[in-house]
Amino acid sequence: MSFRRTAPIVPTRLAALSPAAAIGVLFALLLLIGAGLTLPPNPNPGGAPGGGDAQLYRQISARVAQGQNYYQAAAVEHRASNYPLKPANAVRTPIVAEITATLGEAGADMLLRLLTIAAIAATVMRLAPQLRAPYREAAILLSATSATAFVQAGMSVWHEVWAGLLITLALACRTERRWFASVGLGLAAALIRELAFPFLLVMAATAWTSGARREAQAWLAASAIAIIFLAAHMASVWALTLPGDVASPGWMAFGGWRFDLALARQSSLIMVLPPWAAAVTTPLALLGWCAWRSRYALRTAALLMLWMGAFLVLGRPDNSYWGFLFAPLLPVGLAMAPDALRDLIRAVRCTTAEAVA
């Protein structure tokens, strides 16, 4: 793998904005940063390798390893820990438990580490040739550090971690000619965690609008498979549900931008920084992904915006581990933010110059 020493300065999508639109984007950026700085941080920490949900998943996997049916094991452990069995999507799909039961937790951790390395390497190989120094090096560093928490022992219990890494790899390995593996990886992510399902729709829509009809049909077929699988999963849960089982309080919590920032903090890089850092870096990272002129960035930006838009409404404070879904992706946008800010400021300066003239 070789990169050019100096890549040419490529205008971002923001270079084509009208002065008025540029002022609007800049105002929105400052508004998001300002709002984030004034909001108190979410007091609920994200997912950790031990305790809580992680312990529940670990106990279910142990029963499956002993030969028990996954759904029976899940029903027993959910009831024992007073976890909800209603609605059916409160119970995770069986794939991660089956992996852990087959390989053991140490083996599942090792497989997850290999997936992490593959996702990071693919992202670096996809982005680095398109960026110039020092932003190329920044992208490599951000990609390498954003998912490092995933190599901790015990992180393989988190379904969102598996789904997020599969999506990151699917985005990076997809090209105009080679997209079949990307479809398979995206489908696997959706089968592990239904929150990954929007990825299939984003990829189908972007393929269709770019004229790649055959690829769009493949993504739609993957979406249909995921729907059938998830419907069968929910039917299996319903079959074991009893009238007295605990019901989830629901996920329509309207956490707003505060919840989005809590999700963003699940990145390894941002997690170790003070809470205010997420308020500054999250809007800049989104701006970078949205502005970069490539179909890869467009797909990534569309997915991030769809997720974060939905999570303004969906998700309780204790669901901040959902941020594992985009932890490997979001911070990488910071490497593209300087060029985006350059074009944005140039457009605003044009308005100022016209006013003075």
**Could you report the per-residue pLDDT of 16-56, keeping only the tens digit for each?**
888 899 999 999 999 999 999 998 877 655 555 545 899 99
- pLDDT over 50 at 171, yes or no: yes
**What's residue 43's pLDDT?**
65
In a domain, residue 143? The reply is: yes
In a domain, residue 32? The reply is: no
Residue 70's CB is within 10 A of a number of other CB atoms, namely 21
In a domain, residue 22? The reply is: no
Which residues span the domain enclosing 227? 48-356
Alpha-carbon span 119 to 129, nearest angstrom: 17
Alpha-carbon span 142 to 120, nearest angstrom: 10
In a domain, residue 102? The reply is: yes
Number of domains in the chain: 1
Mark out the alpha helices in 39-94 (DSSP H runs): 52-65, 70-80
277-295: average pLDDT: 94
**What's residue 51's pLDDT?**
54
User: What is the pTM for the complete model shown?
Assistant: 0.92
Burial class (CB in 10 A: 0-12, 13-18, 19+), 1: exposed
In a domain, residue 207? The reply is: yes
Q: Which of 12-16, 105-109, 179-183 has the lowest mean pLDDT?
A: 12-16
- pLDDT over 90 at 146, yes or no: no
Mean residue pLDDT across the chain = 91
In a domain, residue 9? The reply is: no
In a domain, residue 148? The reply is: yes
In a domain, residue 334? The reply is: yes
- pLDDT over 50 at 357, yes or no: no
Cα Rg for the chain, rounded, in angstroms?
21
